[in-house]
Amino acid sequence: MEESRSLSFREDVRSLLFRLLLSVVSAREPFLAAVLNGDEPLDRLDKQQRICALQATGIWFQLVAIANELLAMRARRELEQVGGADEIVGSFSNVVGEIAAAGYPAEAVQLVLDQLSIGPTMTAHPTEAKRVTVLEIHRRIYRKLTELEQHRWAPRERDQHVADLTSEIELLWMSGELRLERPSVEREIAWGLHFFREVIFEATPRIYDTAQEALARHYPDYNLKVPSFLQFASWIGGDRDGNPNVTAETTAYALDACRQAIIGWYIQQVRRLVTVLSVSANVVDIPEAFGQALERLLRATSSASAISARNPGEPLRQFAAAMLERLRAMRSESLAEPYARADSFRADLIGLENALVKLGGATVARRLVRPLRQQVESFGFRTVALDIRQNSTVVNRVLAELFKLAAGAEAPEPESPQWGARIRAGLQSGERPAFEREALSDEARELIDLFEVIREASADPSGGAIGAFILSMTRSSDDLLAVYLIAQYCGLATASDGSGTLNLRVVPLFETIADLRAAPDILDQLLGLSIVRRSVREFGSRQEVMLGYSDSNKDGGFLASNWELSKAQRRITALGQKRKVKISFFHGRGGSVSRGGAPTGRAIAAQPAGTIDGVMRVTEQGEVVSSKFANRGTGLYQLEILAASVFAHSVKSPNESELKDIPEFNEALEALTGMSQASYSGLIREPGFIDYFNQASPVEELSLLKIGSRPARRFGARDISDLRAIPWVFAWSQNRHLITNWYGIGSALNAFVTVRGEAGLDLLRQMFERSRFFRLIIDEVDKGLYQSDMEIGGLYASLVQDREAGERIYRKIAAEYELTCRMIGQVNGGLALSERFPAFKRHFDQTRPQMDAIHRLQVQLLREVRSQDGKGASPKRAVNALLLSINCISAGLGWTG
């Protein structure tokens, strides 16, 4: 431990973690020291040494990510210590300061605050390659590193902290990286709730405090009010699109698990209030109104006398104890009257908060009671609003079956005029036929059971447990109306004659480029139906629209996807204004850039002006959840960046020059998009491309990774159109092609300049300087190119059995890569790749040498695993080594899909 005593407060945590890892692995496998030091490349090791080497390298990549997270937090703290909170770019203090400096009046700021609603939505998309056990060890390592940074430790105490860190790294080594079995949906639900219990419940009220403090500092003459604007949602247990493991029973389980999680949290917090609220009636004068409220609350318990006797002369403690009994009754742990509504619990907390303020305990109220009241406003008795997602194909198939059963004859064909007329007639008349459960197919029975679960949850007086019914692959208004009609059949309509409303928010998900282009017309037709307009009015005259980044990218490439998404938002917003309906957008973003995973602040700032207007939802998918919410400091920062960015865009975007529609820029983007999509489509249609994709990447082997409860394909087909976007992106990242990030853009830029000459290049440079949207595209392409590697890609191309096709397609990709690198440099002023992003470049460079060796080894492993003659299983060690290599590459990149 002598070495640890020399550690200074400022020591680079990466050096410490590397030395500790080296000590752990070298004691077990001495050859690993040379591997970790870079003296012995992984691809040159004996077969017996591969798994240990990959495991050690994977752990190192994980430790690097933890160190980078800690160092980023340290850098933000140092910046704030020197220059104040305003120096943290994207923070509430920073954006409110800019808003105030720009002269925006307090009234305009309050108007945005009043309608602010931000919905981080957790999903269990199978992009988290790390086991939950491993994530928990990571969290303990992060915590121990933060403790180690404290000044107060004596050398002996510091030694103990270092020993604790070493033990956690030993646990990482012994725990193993691979899941032994595919996680159940129930385990995914528990995984999602883990982040709420550990970080999100506590972080949420602190976000409100941060916003309030920023407003008070920059608008000192105004009493601006911050609402509880975070409203979390989840797909975990509700997303059944292509996942047969999510059933109606699973959804009911998810609803109950989410309810129990938040009630358990409230019990824990109120129990704390019982412990600390030792206010004595002998010292202060208790307000009469509070005394009356206490009597009412005690009457709702079964133990009023016991509570009074246990806490004599301490009315605030009695009040908290009575609340505790009512909460415990919600779990059948008390005979008290349980809270029926979260609003009732909130009202009691407000009463306690006001009493403390009147007694001179404003600080106590602010620190102990207000955070709990704000949590109730954000989480209710539900934790999250559980979204339901299903594919339009399934919904239409079930409705056709129900039509046939009701009429005793063949149903109209979906997408036919008769189909749409039949749906509209059913909605207008309020029809609700009875069906014999035994007569239904398994698929229809399951969907009907789901709507029964929705109906029962919607009847809960506390409300809010069910979020939206999201219809993936929405291609027509009939698709959406089919959901309305089935919901009506299942008792979710408020009137039996078609004159009422539907107690369910139905949200279209527009995913492909064709669907994004059709979206305004689809919504116009939808809102033309009276039951839809009435139902939307009941939900605040707001229609939510979900936008898919993944499939539109797979459909047309990175530029086409983002431009069509941008145009769709503007057109849909204009349609909402015409229909006098507010439109809010739900962005289905993933971890990778090609799935919308650009930095949160920049991505939101580049959205079209006026399209957020205070309300935004965004998915937090797979590994993104753990990267953002595994640790409290990072979780706070990520939530603040999200919320502050939405707030800033809502206030400023109508007046920002970088978001203004400039016809010349739009015309150029239309031309660039067309050329980019043509180039991308040309690659996809290249003869032999599907075989190239399957053989030059580990896409088929990804299914062996037990990283999610759902299959990689929606309906079991074997072509690219049906492949989920996650394995599509995952596979192209594993072989370092990363075509989903950049392919086609070089050709588009080059053709534009070739046709328009210097004037065209000058226009592109102006767009880079003056258009926030275009600059974001160019910058993210820049970063994608930096992570791509055509030399490594060529190794994977050599796996293609048809050598002519493999070489031809690889040359096409490599040529486009070189062209795109050159054109990006011309547009951004001749900068080297990622020169604008030194932190990104530095982080990737830390792992690049080891990653290159892992790629070379992965190619060898793919050959070995695929060389089996089919008479028996591939050697287990080779398969496990291959799966570990996939995990290592994901960890090195920092994302999977």
**Amino acid at site 575:** L
Q: Residues 554-577, buried b or exposed e (16+ Cβ, 10 A)?
A: bbbbbbbbbbbbbbbbbbbbebbe
- Dist CA 810 CA 696 (whole Å): 9
Q: Are 508 and 523 in contact (CB under 8 A)?
A: yes
Catalytic residue (one of 125, 161, 652, 855): 125
Give percent helix, percent strand, percent coil of the chain, each to the nearest 5: 65, 5, 30
Question: Residue 279's beta-bridge partner residues?
Answer: none
- Dist CA 696 CA 683 (whole Å): 15
Neighbours of 216 (CB within 10 A): 14
Neighbours of 75 (CB within 10 A): 12
User: How is residue 81 written in tokens?
Assistant: 């210590």
- Dist CA 119 CA 377 (whole Å): 13
- Dist CA 185 CA 198 (whole Å): 20
Q: Are 206 and 632 in contact (CB under 8 A)?
A: no
HEC string of 417-453 equals HHHHHHHHHHHHHCCCCCCCHHHCCHHHHHHHHHHHH
Tell me how far apart the 2 most distant CA atoms of the chain are, in Å. Answer: 92
Q: Dihedral sign for Cα 553, 559, 562, 568, please.
A: negative
Q: Are 94 and 88 in contact (CB under 8 A)?
A: yes
Provide the phi-psi class of 332: left if phi over 0, else alpha when psi is between -120 and 50, else beta: left
Helical (H) or strand (E) element with 830: none
Helical (H) or strand (E) element with 492: none
Q: Please state the φ and ψ torsions of residue 543, each to the nearest 5 degrees.
A: -110, 120
- Dist CA 397 CA 346 (whole Å): 44
Neighbours of 157 (CB within 10 A): 13
Angle at 18 between CA 16 and CA 20, to 5 degrees: 70
Angle at 329 between CA 324 and CA 335, to 5 degrees: 105
Q: For residue 383, what is the DSSP state?
A: S
- Dist CA 218 CA 477 (whole Å): 47
Angle at 457 between CA 451 and CA 462, to 5 degrees: 155
Q: State the first-to-last Cα distance of the chain, in angstroms, to the nearest integer.
A: 42
What are the distances in angstroms from CA 624 to CA 144, 346, 896? 22, 32, 10
Neighbours of 43 (CB within 10 A): 18
- Which residue bears the tokens 């309810």? 259
What are the distances in angstroms from CA 546 to CA 321, 361, 536, 616, 786? 44, 45, 16, 10, 31
- Dist CA 692 CA 240 (whole Å): 31
Nearest to 816 by CA among 662, 618, 684: 684
**Amino acid at site 357:** V
Q: Are 616 and 116 in contact (CB under 8 A)?
A: no
- Dist CA 425 CA 431 (whole Å): 9
| 706 among known catalytic residues | no
Q: Is 708 helix (H, G, I), strand (E, B) or coil?
A: coil
Catalytic residue (one of 130, 194, 554, 841): 554
- Dist CA 166 CA 791 (whole Å): 37
| 125 among known catalytic residues | yes
| Active-site amino acid positions | 125, 554
